[in-house]
Amino acid sequence: MARRAVVIGPAEYGPDSGIPSYSWISASARTYAEVLAGDDMWTSCRLVTQDELRTADGVMQAVQEVADQTEPDDVFMVVYVGHGAHWRDLPGPQVHFSVESSRRDSPWTWLSSWYLYRAMRKSEAKLKVLIADCCYSNELPKLGGSPDALGILDEGSCVLTATKNDWHYADAEGCPALPYPLSECTPFSGHLLNVLLRGTEDPNEQLTLGMVHDAVQAGMHRCVTSHDVPNMTLNGARERTRLFTNRMDPALRRRPPGLPVGTAEWVETLMRPQDVDLDLSNLLRDPRQTGKVVATLYEQRSDGGRAIAHEINKQANEQFAPREFARYWNQVERALRR
Ligand SMILES: [Zn+2]
């Protein structure tokens, strides 16, 4: 299994382009490339060159080059740091990414995210991840008007963005509370890179994007610089694929949790983000208990709870013999009838 990344960071724009040149963008892109190159879990990281950043063609050729290297068991990640725009009067409005020859009110000089999504969708990788640090990145999941433009309903993709809900603007100016050189990056990327460089208190040796998401969000919440919180969206499944090395000293991490007892403890443990990788086999040993947990998760009516309930239900369907399944289903059915 290979993990391959492309990092795109167009930072320099023409004096008449109407688009500000930000050193925070290039510093972020460079640092992503360094951090990924320094993580043994990553097979390759392609930093799009200054020359290629000039045009949409240059950027897409670099993306395609890496997409073509991916195989079915791989992870393909694209990191974009730059300016984002969204013209609602274009047919099928898409978020557009700037390239270094873009001009402010000339949509045709920008890279439509549609092309990037297309290249990612067609890549063979089993997991595709887009990290987008730009304005309007919150609009990305609506790409093409279809929820599965990037297979977003699949477990095989994930879009992590710097902006959330109705908030379109991502800050560019670095966060002074972060250590150098992360203070030279954009606030979102600086905080994200800080988590990749320092790790988290999670007991696991390797981090999923969900764990990184939670740690970045907590870090930005706690930060003495006020950030537009929560400022970060993770779309699609909270996938279980381990993506990054947890660089925190094991002595400083939390101890792995003991096995939960009873429905309430199981539900609480399952809902805790750091435990998404919890081995369900212990729960599935008791069909009745499994049914109660699934019923409670359904009743909570949260997306996160339902996603976990679906996963457990899937495993129950696969593993339980008819008699066990009946005991399980008896508990679940009551919740569904309410
Ligand atoms: Zn900060």
Residue 229 CA, ligand 1 centroid: distance in Å: 10
Burial (CB count within 10 angstroms: exposed 0-12, middle 13-18, buried 19+), residue 91: exposed
Alpha-carbon dihedral sign for residues 260, 265, 269, 271: positive
Q: Scanning the structure block, which residue is given the tokens 């009516």? A: 301
Helix (H, G, I), strand (E, B) or coil at 215: helix
**Residue 329 clears pLDDT 90, i.e. is over it:** yes
Q: Which two tokens stand for residue 168?
A: 């379109």
Residue 232 CA, ligand 1 centroid: distance in Å: 13
> What is the mean pLDDT of the segment spanning 227-247?
71
- Band (227; pLDDT cuts 50, 70, 90): confident
Residue 170 CA, ligand 1 centroid: distance in Å: 13
Residue 176 CA, ligand 1 centroid: distance in Å: 7
Residue 178 CA, ligand 1 centroid: distance in Å: 6
Q: Which two tokens stand for residue 191?
A: 């905080």
Give per-residue pLDDT as tens, 9-61. Answer: 999 999 999 999 999 999 999 999 999 999 999 999 999 999 999 999 999 99
Helix (H, G, I), strand (E, B) or coil at 237: coil
pLDDT of 161: 76
Residue 201 CA, ligand 1 centroid: distance in Å: 19
CB 184 within 8 A of CB 194: no
Give per-residue pLDDT as tens, 269-286. Answer: 888 765 445 668 778 988
What domains lie within the chain, and their CATH numbers? 3-250 (3.40.50.1460), 262-336 (no CATH)
CB 206 within 8 A of CB 41: yes
Q: Output the pTM of the full model.
A: 0.74
pLDDT of 265: 87
Residue 137 CA, ligand 1 centroid: distance in Å: 19
For 291, residues 6+ apart whose C-beta sits below 8 A from its C-beta are 327, 328, 329, 330, 331, 332
Residue 198 CA, ligand 1 centroid: distance in Å: 15
Residue 226 CA, ligand 1 centroid: distance in Å: 7
- CA–CA dist 328, 41 (Å, integer): 39
Residue 246 CA, ligand 1 centroid: distance in Å: 21
pLDDT of 146: 39
Q: Which residue has the higher pLDDT, 95 or 150?
A: 95
